[in-house]
Structures are given as structure tokens and as C-alpha cells.
Structure 1
Amino acid sequence: MSGRPREFDDTAVIEAAMDVFWSNGYEGSSAQELCERTGLGRGSLYHAFGSKHKLYELALRRYQELGIEAQARILNGPGSAKERLRALMQWGVDGDLGPSGGRGCMALFAALDRAGKDPMVADISRVYVTRLEQVLCHVFALGQRHGELAAERSPLASARAFISSYYGLRVLGQSMPDRAFLEDVMEGTLARL
């Protein structure tokens, strides 16, 4: 005999939990708030997902899945390589300063806050950076092939340098939420390409 069928959509619950974790971080997210935002009772939530940690893992994976899809769309979109790199950085600035209340990038802040003490977060973060690196490497290879971007370094080295600047920009979006400042950082990064 099987149990009662679930009366909720796993993806909707994971996305609601993602919103809680994104706003509050792992430590700041209470079981009570997770229950309120997902619409599930504590027993149902833990029966379905096992633990707060497992729900956090699923929420972080979902956030990263959505994030890498959005970033890949920008990087694989129209325009020159430099225009696409600029569009990605502008997307980050707009997101950090937009209506999300200055929450920044959940993936980046999960890595900063938890990767050193949580191997699961460290693994998820490595996969995410590797996926972004692959898309960026392709953009740099095309840009170098077409003479748009400097070719002194390999596309991989260039992609890694860009990731460093891009993540630095995202951190600055939280500590210096000034559009003109962030756009100066962005233009300086692009000028070095």
C-alpha cells in the first residue's frame, strides 16, 4: 500500500524555500519561515525533503540552474563578444541594484558564507563556476578568433580573469550599491579585454 499522494508541487516548494534562503542565508532561515513561505506544515516539509540542509541544497541547485540559464542566454546571445560580456556585467549590476532588495547573488554568497564549512555547498559552487567558465571560454575564443579581444592569454585564462572581476563586481554591488561606481568598475574591466 502506498502513502497518500503529494498535494504540492516540489518545484514550487523548492522555489519558495529558495526565496527564503536567498533573503536570509542558511543560518538565518528558520523552519517556521520555511513552513510559512512554502505553505507546508513542518512534518510535511521534513517528510518530503528530509531536513533543512537538504532543502537548502535543492534550493541552491535550483537557484544555480536558473542563474546559469540566464547568464548563458546573455553570453550566447547577439552582439560582439565584448557586447555580450558587457551585457552580463550589466545584468549583474541591474540585479544587485534592482527590486530584489539588494539580495545579490545567492550562489556567490552561499559560496562565501558556507563553502568553507559545508562540502555540499563547495561542490555545488565548483560546478556552477565551471559551467559559467565553459560558456565564457567559448565567448573569449570567438572574440579572439574575430580579433575583438586580446589574444595574449588563452581563452580559459581570460575567462577565469573575467570571472574574478565579475564576482568582484557582484560583491561590490552589495557593499557599494552605487550604479555609477559599479558601471565605472564594469567599464574598467571591459577596457582591459
Structure 2
Amino acid sequence: MINSNDGLKEIIRYCNNYPVIFTTGYTCRSAFNINDKDNHFYMLGSMGMASSIGAGIAMCSNNKVIIVDGDGSFLMNPSAQYTISSMKLSNIVHIVFDNSSYESTGGQDTNSNYFDLCKISISAGYEKAVIVNSLTLFTEEIKKSLESDNGPVLILCKTKNKAKNEIGRRVDISPELIYKRFSKFCKKQIVG
């Protein structure tokens, strides 16, 4: 298992030229605290909708779109995978941090241990789904996915829960500002 903050650092490092949608909860809080950037869209609520937002952006782009989900939000909206596949959105890299819990709402268990999320994604039509348990493998899969034309791709990363000192402050910029700067980034980078 890896520390999700280490995984987020790798995403931010390698995906700074792509739109990145971070799911709600500790994922967006951690990304914001690690390195806030204009290409980041932070889901402040609407659990399960990061993949739907990513699909909408990918429809308008020839470039990669990165979706960063948690296992709870991924399981909340599995139909988005079918939409992504049926629309042939080969430019999506869908990363799921799986710690088997709804960590930011109290640590309740998710059902991720009862389902093979990679098999679900493949059956939904994803071109590739891989599970990683180390930071080295995670980084390798990010690089491969960004270089490949075959997608959509799921990278399922097994993570451990955060220590209290790893959570960081809440996103303290308004949803309107998040939208405006992300939209500006997308207009410059995404279409074409």
C-alpha cells in the first residue's frame, strides 16, 4: 500500500499540463495543500461526480484528462464508466485511491473489498485496468497512460488511511474561482 499523499504528489508532478479533477473530501484537500494549480478542479461536494465532470471535459479535448477518485466515490457512480466507454473517451486516465473507507466522513467501510474494481472497469469497456501497490509501479503506470493512445485506463492504487497531520486545511478558494481558473486553463490547453 502507498500513502495517498505520495501518490497525489506524483499525479501533480506528471500531470501539470493536463486537466485534473480531484474527487471530494480528503483527496481534494490534500491535493490543494500539496500544490494548488490552475489545472486542478476540486470537487467540493457532489461525491461520485468527478468521473462525470472528467467525461464532459474529455469530450471536448484531444489531450489527456485525469480523474482522481476514491473508492467510495467510484462506487457511488459506476455508470460513469459505461458513459466514458460508450463515448469512446480514450483520453481518460481514471485513478482510484482505494483505502476501503469513506475516510473523510468518519472512516466507514466501503464495499471495495467485495468487488474487483478492475474487472468492473474492463467489463464496462475500459481498455486497461491495473492495480498497483507501490509508488514506483504507480508512477510507471501514470507515465505509460499519458503516453498511450489506448484508453480509457483505470489505475487502482491501494492506499492506507491518512494520519491526522496529513489531512491539511480545507480548500479555501471559492467554487467560482476554482471554476474560472480551471476553465481558463482548459480553454488554453484542452481543445485542439
Which structure shows the higher strand fraction?
A: 2
TM-score above 0.5, yes or no? no
Which structure shows the higher helix fraction?
A: 1
Relative to the length of structure 2, the TM-score reads 0.24
Relative to the length of structure 1, the TM-score reads 0.24
Structure exhibiting the larger radius of gyration computed from Cα positions:
1
